[in-house]
Structure 1
Amino acid sequence: MIKPGKGNISVLQRGLVGLLIGALLLVGLRGIARDVHFSGALLNQAFVADAGWIHSVPPEVVEARSLLAQHHDGGVPLALGPGLEDDSLLQQRLWEGLYPMRLHEADNGRMLWKTPGPQRPGCTRIAGGERLVLVDCH
């Protein structure tokens, strides 16, 4: 015959077992975090909209985005000059990186060129960086 109260775990005992398991879990996670040099700041950076984008595209794309953010007129179309349109991989990454801006094929108007830029008359340098030059050619 089973006596009442025997064999049943009380609420207090359940709570103590839960606290013990939680404490052991926290101690274990703390040790793992120390071993992998966990940083809360780095974890927060992983949830930023463009996290890692700068490191995953060619430097020309980063520079083009920066130049156009400072000097682009939204209504003026943009073309790629020689050197940028010759490299199909770079051209594709520029199309993707500058989206929603649409690039078109032209020999004049507002253009991105590799430095030092066009050496022809009728081209005005708008801005430049280490790898690219934004020009307006007529």
Structure 2
Amino acid sequence: MIKPGKGTSSVLQRWLVGLLTGALLLVGLRGIAKDIHFDSSLLRQAFDAGAGWKESVPPEVVEARELLARHGDPSVPVALASGLWEDPLVRERLWDGLYPRRVHWGDKGLMLWRTPGPQQPNCTEISRSERIVLVDCH
């Protein structure tokens, strides 16, 4: 029969077992990380809200967002020219990607065109990228 107080582990023994278990766990995880070529920068990207956004939208959306970030007031709505408006995927992605800026179809004001841009005399080019032209039409 075991008497009370006998056979129980001391606090020091519990700490040693905990430290030994933790060390073994870390060594095991390190070995796994080496085997799978773990990259901590990829893990940080997993928690970034915008990670992969550029790769998941059409390039026109990325370029339009960059042009509008450099030029123009976010409270001013932007119109899409017919070439962008008629493509349902690009139109929807522009609508989402440019939020909170309001996007509409129109032929006046701040407008986004596909390159080469408008051939109208009443439009002034503000900026351009490879696929998108930002203009102000009166």
Unmatched runs of 5 consecutive residues or more in structure 2: none
Read off the aligned partner of 2:102 and give its amino acid letter.
R
Cα-Cα RMSD:
1.7
- Closer/same/farther in 2, CA of residues 74 and 7 from structure 1, 3 Å limit: closer
Q: TM-score, normalization: structure 1?
A: 0.89
Equivalence for 1:31: 31
Equivalence for 1:104: 104
- Closer/same/farther in 2, CA of residues 21 and 81 from structure 1, 3 Å limit: same
Equivalence for 1:83: 83
Q: Are 2:11 and 1:14 aligned?
A: no
Whole-Å Cα distance in 1 between the matches of residues 76 and 25 of structure 2? 59
Could you tell me the percent identity over the aligned residues? Answer: 69
Unmatched runs of 5 consecutive residues or more in structure 1: none
Q: Are 2:128 and 1:128 aligned?
A: yes
Whole-Å Cα distance in 1 between the matches of residues 125 and 74 of structure 2? 18
- Closer/same/farther in 2, CA of residues 74 and 8 from structure 1, 3 Å limit: closer
C-alpha deviation, 1:114, in angstroms: 0.3
Q: TM-score, normalization: structure 2?
A: 0.89
C-alpha deviation, 1:48, in angstroms: 2.9
Whole-Å Cα distance in 1 between the matches of residues 75 and 16 of structure 2? 68
Contact 2:67 2:127 in 1 (8 A): yes
Whole-Å Cα distance in 1 between the matches of residues 12 and 75 of structure 2? 71
Whole-Å Cα distance in 1 between the matches of residues 75 and 25 of structure 2? 58
